[in-house]
Amino acid sequence: MSEKKYVYSFGGGEADGDTTLKNLLGGKGSNLAEMANIGVPVPAGFTITTEVCTYYYDHGKTYPPELDEQMKAGIKKIEKVMDARFGDAENPLLVSVRSGARVSMPGMMDTVLNLGLNDETVQGLIKKTNNPRFGYDSYRRFIQMYSNVVCGLDNEVMESELERMKEEKGVEVDTDLDENDLKKLVQKFKDIYKEKFGEPFPTDPWEQLKGSIGAVFGSWMNNRAMVYRRLHGIPHSWGTAVNVQAMVYGNMGESSATGVAFTRDPSTGEKKYYGEWLVNAQGEDVVAGIRTPHPLNDYTESKTQTGLSTLQVEMPEVFKELCDNFEKLEQHYKEMQDIEFTIQEGTLWLLQTRTGKRTAAAAVRIAVEMEKEELIDKKTAVLRVDPKQVDQLLHPMIDPKFKKEVVAKGLPASPGAAVGRVVFTAEEAVEMASKGEPVILTRIETSPEDIEGMHSAKGILTSRGGMTSHAAVVARGMGKCCIAGAGDVTINYKDEQFKIKGTDHVVKKGDFISLDGTTGELLLGKADTIEPELSGTFADLMVWADEFRNMGVRTNADTPDDAKKALEFGAEGIGLCRTEHMFFAEERILAVRQMIVSDTQEEREKALAKILPMQQEDFEGIFEAMAGYPVTIRLLDPPLHEFVPHEDKQIEDLARSLDMDFKELKSKIEGLSEMNPMLGHRGCRLGITYPEITRMQARAIMQAACTLAQKDIDVLPEIMVPLIGGVEEFNNQKKIIVEEAEEIMKEYGVNVKYMVGTMIEVPRAAITADRVAQSAEFFSFGTNDLTQMTMGFSRDDAGRFLPQYVERGFYPEDPFQSIDIEGVGEMVEIGLRRGRSTSEDLKVGICGEHGGDPKSVEFCHKIDMNYVSCSPFRVPIARLAAAQAAVKTLKKNRPHL
């Protein structure tokens, strides 16, 4: 029997291991082996297996006896590939020592670089790089790192010496220290080491190496790493591997260089190499920005226009080798790669390769083109695009070439870009827009009364409110650019202007401004924008997504325009049509208000009779736009006080319009106020106390449906009762709806297939869903309110603590943006399961803001919802997310395929 293998070498176009040995070699070690195996020139090295770690802890922190010999053989192989010698003063081989567990534990464990340096070998390094400052800096860093990582010296001890040196020299940054300073520092560090540990700093590279390996194994059990593993469920028994790898240097003269490159253009996705490089430089010089990096090739130069020389021209041979490696890596990893490379004295080394980050447009193009190149299949292509990124593609954006001058920042409440003239009231917005002027509605906060103005505006800017403020939510729903809560914008309604705190800028009504809703940036004047394109590769991708997706995607839309937009985006029906948004139109609000302040049912019915034909007309428009698709209409939901004015002047106006006494009207309006409007008299509670409202709405819906049905237009109304707490409330409302529906169908002499269902948004409704489902024909989870009630905070008030909660990790994300799976999600699942326990085929959807959030969509898929519904602009996102969920679940359900 041969001796046990503890050391796996890699480099020189071959390797002892490969990615199948991940458990033994760790993530990093097996990847390096894989790269070496496919012929990528990685700096040579070896991996000490995780079994050594286990042995180490099982045997009182000692090593297997065979290890020493195997390591020596490993070093020999490195020396051969790298053509350098460990501890040699002329041509020293320097190495790095890094941990590498099965799964990545970023920042948890220790690393030692430039190992092998001592007073002699540093001279070799200096000679090779012709850079004494670099040599001594590398040396002092090595001593500092070693003392800290291997010997446990507080990093501050040596760091403060460095600081003292800078003070003495009167310089600010490390780079201002010269060769001699650093040489002195090396001596100082060695003195400190001797003083602290009673012996000189080890000069023997072998001693340095063993010490470092021990330190890495030791760091597996440090506190930080143990906590991390406990949090992430990683067993301590896995152990870590240790990677010892040759250091390479791009600063060894004019035939050395360093660079980064992408195998495809990360901005556009075009299949062209894109990258930057610097001759005689280290990797950090490329990113540090002191020297302007050169373009990698002609393509990069065509994009960046630097006028500087390319690697393609300067080192054509190496460039060709680099390109060959790009091909190899893409073919192997079947993904666009982001590569770090170093050229050391004419020899190319690839230090790292990883999946490259890219823009949304690039992500789509790369995924689709790779499928066409037969690199990946359609499912993989669909999984390759982050649905959240897709949002970028659906809105106009500030032209990346435009030079932005940002004067203030707010929350990126609704993405896109908008350019227009400032107005301060909804009325002005409507008026100016009607004249064809683009406007930006600028308000401290918005309220439901501003809806029409928001519709007319190109964008919305508020100085107060969060990501879930009225402005933010409504703007997202409209797919309209919005910056919310720009605290530095000080609005003065009286003078019709705003100032920017801390600046002299004064923006007057009529001035042009530009909003970047994707970043939250406010610009003065007119910015250049570019329009989105939904054709080409994006269209291909969406077709594939729809092939895999098995959950429906509907939209939340309140107008025929929204409905049409959503259809373009691929919506398969309306999941939420909010009837109250129709109430705010100028010619209607008076009748609505009259209804609200009525004293008797008779008066209310009179006012409702005025609203009926208008609502019917709305529904006709929406049904017609959505012909053939289901349309879920929610009955009146908000508390009545949202519809009436609250300022004396407006109340006076209303009193005049309604021919009422001001005082009486004011007292009525005050009587409507509530301590906790979220938990007040709204939703079906209104329909229960005022059945005539439900009756009017049911009538408007069914008259509209019957009118279209008479014209042979296919209508599928789904009437939805909001805010029920149990089946009793639902039944009360259903009875009214069915009575009206049956009567109207008889009147019109047509039959319309309608359904009556309910929102599930009160926890009690979810808890008692088995009974609710005895009577409700569909469920739609209203996860906005369900989140508020389940978690016990209102989104209006949560601003004081919720950001902290997310920051501290109490919740992984803002629960109003991505569903809180553990709490609210569980409540949804309880509701769904209990509902289906009574009614097996119950149609279940979601219509909260979460319907457009990819993670939430995946959750909905997992628990078997029939559809999600979201604002029109989020429909493509939801489609993609649903497709991904389907593909992933399929994989999960059939692990052997």
> Would you name the residues annotated as active-site residues?
470, 847
Give the residue, chosen from 163, 178, 667, 810, that forms a contact with a second copy under the rule CB under 8 A.
Answer: 810
Q: Which is nearer to a second copy, 815 or 872 (CB)?
A: 815
| Residue 674 binds to a second copy (criterion: CB under 8 A) | yes
Let me know how many helices (H) and strands (E) the chain has, helices first: 35, 34
Q: Helix, strand or coil for residue 420?
A: strand
Q: How many residues bind a second copy (CB under 8 A)?
A: 49
* Distance from C-alpha of 664 to C-alpha of 673, rounded to nearest angstrom: 15
Give the residue, chosen from 1, 173, 231, 675, that forms a contact with a second copy under the rule CB under 8 A.
Answer: 675
- On whether the CB atoms of residues 436 and 513 are closer than 8 A, the answer is no
Helical H runs in 20-154?
22-37, 50-58, 67-82, 121-129, 132-149
Q: Which is nearer to a second copy, 383 or 830 (CB)?
A: 830
| Residue 670 binds to a second copy (criterion: CB under 8 A) | no
Q: What's the closest the beta carbon of residue 830 comes to a second copy, in angstroms?
A: 8
- On whether the CB atoms of residues 802 and 469 are closer than 8 A, the answer is no
Q: Which is nearer to a second copy, 238 or 811 (CB)?
A: 811
Q: Which is nearer to a second copy, 512 or 811 (CB)?
A: 811
Give the residue, chosen from 121, 788, 839, 871, that forms a contact with a second copy under the rule CB under 8 A.
Answer: 788
- On whether the CB atoms of residues 447 and 460 are closer than 8 A, the answer is no
Q: What's the closest the beta carbon of residue 775 comes to a second copy, in angstroms?
A: 13
Q: What's the closest the beta carbon of residue 816 comes to a second copy, in angstroms?
A: 13
Instruction: Please name the residue that has the structure tokens 């269902």.
Output: 757
DSSP string for residues in 756-785 = EEEEE-SHHHHHTHHHHTTT-SEEEE-HHH
| Residue 383 binds to a second copy (criterion: CB under 8 A) | no
Give the residue, chosen from 598, 768, 839, 884, that forms a contact with a second copy under the rule CB under 8 A.
Answer: 768
Angle between helices 121-129 and 132-149 (to 10 degrees): 140
Q: Which is nearer to a second copy, 255 or 447 (CB)?
A: 447
Give the residue, chosen from 679, 750, 755, 863, that forms a contact with a second copy under the rule CB under 8 A.
Answer: 679
Q: Which is nearer to a second copy, 421 or 695 (CB)?
A: 695
| Residue 676 binds to a second copy (criterion: CB under 8 A) | yes
DSSP, res 42: P
Q: Helix, strand or coil for residue 829?
A: helix
| Residue 677 binds to a second copy (criterion: CB under 8 A) | yes
Residues in 790-809 that interact with a second copy by CB under 8 A: 790-794, 796-797, 800-801, 804-805, 808-809
Q: What's the closest the beta carbon of residue 790 comes to a second copy, in angstroms?
A: 5
The window from 336-344, 401-409, 481-489, 723-731 that contacts a second copy (CB under 8 A) reads: 723-731
* Distance from C-alpha of 827 to C-alpha of 849, rounded to nearest angstrom: 17
DSSP, res 104: -
- On whether the CB atoms of residues 629 and 639 are closer than 8 A, the answer is no
Instruction: Please name the residue that has the structure tokens 């529904």.
Output: 619
Residues in 725-764 that interact with a second copy by CB under 8 A: 725-726, 728-729, 732, 761-764
| Residue 154 binds to a second copy (criterion: CB under 8 A) | no
Q: Which is nearer to a second copy, 562 or 761 (CB)?
A: 761
Q: Helix, strand or coil for residue 833?
A: helix
| Residue 228 binds to a second copy (criterion: CB under 8 A) | no
Cα-to-chain-centroid distance, residue 664: 51
The Cα-based distances of 117 to 187, 201, 714, 773 in angstroms read 14, 11, 81, 75
* Distance from C-alpha of 19 to C-alpha of 740, rounded to nearest angstrom: 68
Q: What's the closest the beta carbon of residue 834 comes to a second copy, in angstroms?
A: 10
Give the residue, chosen from 678, 738, 745, 750, that forms a contact with a second copy under the rule CB under 8 A.
Answer: 678
* Distance from C-alpha of 366 to C-alpha of 381, rounded to nearest angstrom: 9
Which structure tokens are listed for 404? 């932005």
Q: Which is nearer to a second copy, 98 or 604 (CB)?
A: 604
Q: Which is nearer to a second copy, 408 or 789 (CB)?
A: 789
Q: What are phi and psi of 115, to 5 degrees?
A: -70, 135
Q: What's the closest the beta carbon of residue 686 comes to a second copy, in angstroms?
A: 9
Q: What's the closest the beta carbon of residue 720 comes to a second copy, in angstroms?
A: 16
Torsion of CA 308, 252, 317, 10, to 10 degrees: -130
Q: Which residues pair with 716 in a beta bridge?
A: 630
Q: What are phi and psi of 709, to 5 degrees?
A: -60, -35
- On whether the CB atoms of residues 183 and 199 are closer than 8 A, the answer is no
Give the residue, chosen from 13, 27, 64, 680, that forms a contact with a second copy under the rule CB under 8 A.
Answer: 680
* Distance from C-alpha of 340 to C-alpha of 281, rounded to nearest angstrom: 13
Cα-to-chain-centroid distance, residue 358: 13
Q: What's the closest the beta carbon of residue 761 comes to a second copy, in angstroms?
A: 8
Is residue 657 left, alpha or beta, with left meaning phi > 0 and alpha meaning psi from -120 to 50?
alpha
Q: What's the closest the beta carbon of residue 506 comes to a second copy, in angstroms?
A: 24
Q: Which is nearer to a second copy, 468 or 615 (CB)?
A: 468
Residues in 813-852 that interact with a second copy by CB under 8 A: 820, 822-824, 826-827, 830
Q: What's the closest the beta carbon of residue 236 comes to a second copy, in angstroms?
A: 20
| Residue 767 binds to a second copy (criterion: CB under 8 A) | yes
Percentages (nearest 5) of helix, strand, coil residues in the chain:
50, 15, 35
Which amino acid is present at 896?
H
| Residue 448 binds to a second copy (criterion: CB under 8 A) | no
Cα-to-chain-centroid distance, residue 319: 35
- Closest CA relative to residue 337, chosen from 370, 308, 312, 371: 370
Sign of CA dihedral 804, 805, 806, 810: positive
- On whether the CB atoms of residues 813 and 854 are closer than 8 A, the answer is no
Interface characters, 682-701, with a second copy (x: CB under 8 A): ---x--xx------------
Instruction: Provide the CB-side half-sphere exposure for 854 (13 A, CA).
Output: 16
- On whether the CB atoms of residues 815 and 879 are closer than 8 A, the answer is no
Q: What's the closest the beta carbon of residue 822 comes to a second copy, in angstroms?
A: 6
Maximum distance among all Cα pairs of the chain, rounded to whole angstroms: 105
Q: Which is nearer to a second copy, 267 or 838 (CB)?
A: 838
Instruction: Please name the residue that has the structure tokens 């003195």.
Output: 191
Sign of CA dihedral 428, 434, 437, 443: positive
Q: Helix, strand or coil for residue 81?
A: helix
Q: What's the closest the beta carbon of residue 811 comes to a second copy, in angstroms?
A: 8
Q: What's the closest the beta carbon of residue 697 comes to a second copy, in angstroms?
A: 18
Q: Which is nearer to a second copy, 804 or 893 (CB)?
A: 804
Interface characters, 576-615, with a second copy (x: CB under 8 A): ----------------------------------------
Q: Which is nearer to a second copy, 401 or 808 (CB)?
A: 808
Residues forming contacts to a second copy in the complex (CB under 8 A) are: 674-681, 685, 688-689, 723, 725-726, 728-729, 732, 761-764, 767-768, 771, 785, 788-794, 796-797, 800-801, 804-805, 808-811, 820, 822-824, 826-827, 830
